[in-house]
């Protein structure tokens, strides 16, 4: 199985003091696993992850009695593991439960166990049974997994994610988090309650060995439960073989939807900060596209109003021009974004033109000792001494064209399930038209 992604170069700087008695940061430790096999895809790891050495460095033959498809069911002495190697060449990871083993035979037997379970129950989800579906469209599904209820699954998922995240620190204390797992099931294998078929090409039909895997796990994001800082996302990862397919934007959109900002009592928030360099780059692009859709009238706010629905027209010799005055806070409220994120996105886009403030008009307020006093106009006549930023739709359109932005939202409102689903009256006609087009 060929390697899919080459790992990035290791960091050349360290913030640890040479006199510090503490162990080096976990992000600076050498990789302990060369590559992983997830399902039937093999790819290289990027960073160290605290998998137990007693399991991943075991050179003993796998147990022959793999009752119920269990993995990691035995203990290996430290001497036995250290005698072999300090690095695991290949770690096999189950895409259904994220249990792991360095032994291919044990892995195949374990997957056959999952295959038998799915033959008995076709609607068995590719995640723990307690998981709740929150989104399903075009073969892509997002499942909510409670870190308190499914501790082992979320711990294993976190350990796997650390192989590709330099700054991840939560591995075992998963009780305070919710995990949202992204999966893809080809329409011909979709669950009876799940995905809508589309004409999207199955991204991995390359003739690899068929291990009975009808669904692939593509990535996940997590968030605190509850978040006292109004964060709608704590950690996000699309696994390396599936990156550069706009799937990160899909998960980001889902995270904003689940914050419930559209409804009374909902929360306007954003990702946990500070962001990594790659994380900030990804979010700046996501925020910029979100604002572009709103300003071009391609998306509506919580009340179904588009940005120019109640705008004023300036009449003149030329055709009427629509104008709309919005504060940064109002843009944030109508897109579900924090004001600071709106400002960052507008600066990144470079579409704002500055208009300097007008001087406040003054009026004579009377005389004291024969000297006239000038006071600023009060009440409704006051002109605020603030800088105004002008955003022209033509500038937004140029930015969209230059950066090849798809003005359709990464998620379809019709794909949300349960409490997140819209009523029939709220269904977006564009989603209906899109689905009809996909079905042709």
Bridge partners for 323 per DSSP: 312
Of 239, 272, 305, the last residue of a domain is 272
Q: What percent of the chain has pLDDT over 90?
A: 49
Kindly tell me if the per-residue pLDDT of 219 is higher than 90.
yes
Buried b (16+ CB within 10 A) or exposed e, 327-352: ebeebbbbbbbbeebbbbbbebbebe
Pick the more confident residue, 111 or 375. Answer: 111
74 with 31, same domain: the answer is: yes
Of 246, 272, 298, the last residue of a domain is 272
Q: What percent of the chain has pLDDT over 70?
A: 65
DSSP per position, 335-374:
HT--HHHHHHHHHHHT-EEEEPPPPPPEEEEEEETTEEEE
Kindly tell me if the per-residue pLDDT of 382 is higher than 90.
no
Residue 369 is assigned to a structural domain of this protein? no
pLDDT score at 65: 47
Kindly tell me if the per-residue pLDDT of 122 is higher than 90.
no
Residue 129 is assigned to a structural domain of this protein? yes
- Average pLDDT value for the chain: 77
198 with 315, same domain: the answer is: no
Mean of the pLDDT values across residues 254-279? 87
- 307 confidence band (pLDDT: 50, 70, 90): low
112 with 47, same domain: the answer is: yes
171 with 119, same domain: the answer is: yes
pLDDT score at 322: 65
Residue 371 is assigned to a structural domain of this protein? no
pTM for the complete prediction? 0.75
Mean of the pLDDT values across residues 276-293? 95
Token pair of 69, please? 């498809």
Kindly tell me if the per-residue pLDDT of 242 is higher than 90.
yes
Of 208, 240, 272, the last residue of a domain is 272
- Residue 278, Cβ density class (10 Å: 0-12 exposed, 13-18 middle, ≥19 buried): exposed
Half-sphere exposure (Cβ direction) of 1: Cα atoms closer than 13 Å: 21
How do residues 6-56 score in pLDDT, each as one tens digit? 445 444 433 344 444 444 555 457 899 999 999 989 999 999 999 999 899
pLDDT score at 223: 95
Torsion of CA 72, 78, 84, 90, to 10 degrees: 30
Cα angle 264, 266, 272 (rounded to 5 degrees) comes to: 160
How do residues 400-421 score in pLDDT, each as one tens digit? 999 999 999 999 999 999 888 8
84 with 203, same domain: the answer is: yes
Kindly tell me if the per-residue pLDDT of 433 is higher than 80.
no
Q: What is the CATH number of the domain that holds 90?
A: 3.40.630.30
> Out of 85-89, 189-193, 266-270, which region has the weakest mean confidence (pLDDT)?
189-193
137 with 216, same domain: the answer is: yes
How do residues 136-159 score in pLDDT, each as one tens digit? 999 999 999 999 999 999 999 999
Kindly tell me if the per-residue pLDDT of 430 is higher than 80.
no
pLDDT score at 82: 41
Pick the more confident residue, 342 or 355. Answer: 342
Kindly tell me if the per-residue pLDDT of 260 is higher than 90.
no
Q: Which of 183-192, 239-248, 430-439 has the highest mean pLDDT?
A: 239-248
How do residues 59-114 score in pLDDT, each as one tens digit? 665 554 444 456 653 433 333 334 346 899 999 999 999 999 999 999 999 999 99
Token pair of 82, please? 């250290």
Residue 104 is assigned to a structural domain of this protein? yes
pLDDT score at 404: 95
pLDDT score at 66: 46
76 with 178, same domain: the answer is: yes
Q: Which structural domain, as residue segments, surrounds residue 69?
A: 26-272
Torsion of CA 60, 65, 69, 71, to 10 degrees: -30
336 with 237, same domain: the answer is: no
pLDDT score at 436: 46
Residue 388 is assigned to a structural domain of this protein? no
Kindly tell me if the per-residue pLDDT of 310 is higher than 60.
no
199 with 301, same domain: the answer is: no
Number of domains the chain contains: 2
Residue 309 is assigned to a structural domain of this protein? yes
Q: Are 165 and 48 in contact (CB under 8 A)?
A: no
Residue 163 is assigned to a structural domain of this protein? yes
Catalytic residue, from 166, 216, 262, 272: name it.
272
204 with 316, same domain: the answer is: no
Please say if 435 is a catalytic residue.
no
97 with 215, same domain: the answer is: yes
Bridge partners for 199 per DSSP: none
> Out of 80-89, 115-124, 170-179, 343-352, which region has the weakest mean confidence (pLDDT)?
80-89
> Out of 90-94, 128-132, 219-223, 325-329, which region has the weakest mean confidence (pLDDT)?
325-329
Kindly tell me if the per-residue pLDDT of 2 is higher than 50.
no
84 with 123, same domain: the answer is: yes
Kindly tell me if the per-residue pLDDT of 196 is higher than 50.
no
Instruction: Give the residue among 73, 65, 130 at the shortest CA–CA distance from 99.
Output: 73
Residue 162 is assigned to a structural domain of this protein? yes
pLDDT score at 214: 82
């Amino acid at each position: 199985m060929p390697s899919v992604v080459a790992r990035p170069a290791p960091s050349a700087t360290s913030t640890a003091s040479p006199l510090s008695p503490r162990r080096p940061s976990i992000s600076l430790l050498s990789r302990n696993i060369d590559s992983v096999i997830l399902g039937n895809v093999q790819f290289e790891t990027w960073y160290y992850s605290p998998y137990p050495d007693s399991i991943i460095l075991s050179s003993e033959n796998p147990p022959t009695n793999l009752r119920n498809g269990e993995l990691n069911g035995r203990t290996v002495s430290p001497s036995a593991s250290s005698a072999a190697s300090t690095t695991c060449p290949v770690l096999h990871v189950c895409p259904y439960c994220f249990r792991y083993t360095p032994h291919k035979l044990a892995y195949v037997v374990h997957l056959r166990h999952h295959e038998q379970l799915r033959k008995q129950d076709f609607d068995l989800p590719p995640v723990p049974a307690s998981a709740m579906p929150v989104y399903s469209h075009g073969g892509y599904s997002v499942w909510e997994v409670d870190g308190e209820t499914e501790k082992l699954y979320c711990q294993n998922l976190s350990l796997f994610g650390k192989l590709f995240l330099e700054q991840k620190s939560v591995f075992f204390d998963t009780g305070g988090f919710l995990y949202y797992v992204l999966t893809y099931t080809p329409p011909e294998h979709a669950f009876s309650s799940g995905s809508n078929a589309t004409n999207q090409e199955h991204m991995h039909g390359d003739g690899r060995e068929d291990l009975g895997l009808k669904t692939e796990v593509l990535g996940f994001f997590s968030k605190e439960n509850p978040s006292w800082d109004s964060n709608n996302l704590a950690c996000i990862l699309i696994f390396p073989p599936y990156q550069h397919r706009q799937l990160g934007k899909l998960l980001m959109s889902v995270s904003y939807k689940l914050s419930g900002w559209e409804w009374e009592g909902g929360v306007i928030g954003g990702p946990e900060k500070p962001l990594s360099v790659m994380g900030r780059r990804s979010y700046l692009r996501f925020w910029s596209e979100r604002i572009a859709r709103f300003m071009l009238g391609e998306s509506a706010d919580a009340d179904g109003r588009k940005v120019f629905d109640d705008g004023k027209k300036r009449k003149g010799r030329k055709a009427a021009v629509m104008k709309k005055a919005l504060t940064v806070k109002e843009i944030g409220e109508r897109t579900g974004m924090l004001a600071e994120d709106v400002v960052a996105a507008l600066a990144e886009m470079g579409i704002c033109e500055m208009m300097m403030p007008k001087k406040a008009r003054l009026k004579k307020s009377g005389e004291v000792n024969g000297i006239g006093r000038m006071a600023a106009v009060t009440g409704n006549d006051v002109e605020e001494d603030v800088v105004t930023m002008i955003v022209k739709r033509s500038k937004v359109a140029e930015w969209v064209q230059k950066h090849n932005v798809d003005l359709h939202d990464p998620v379809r409102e019709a794909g949300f399930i349960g409490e997140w689903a819209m009523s029939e009256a709220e269904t977006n006609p564009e989603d209906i038209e899109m689905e009809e087009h996909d079905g042709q």
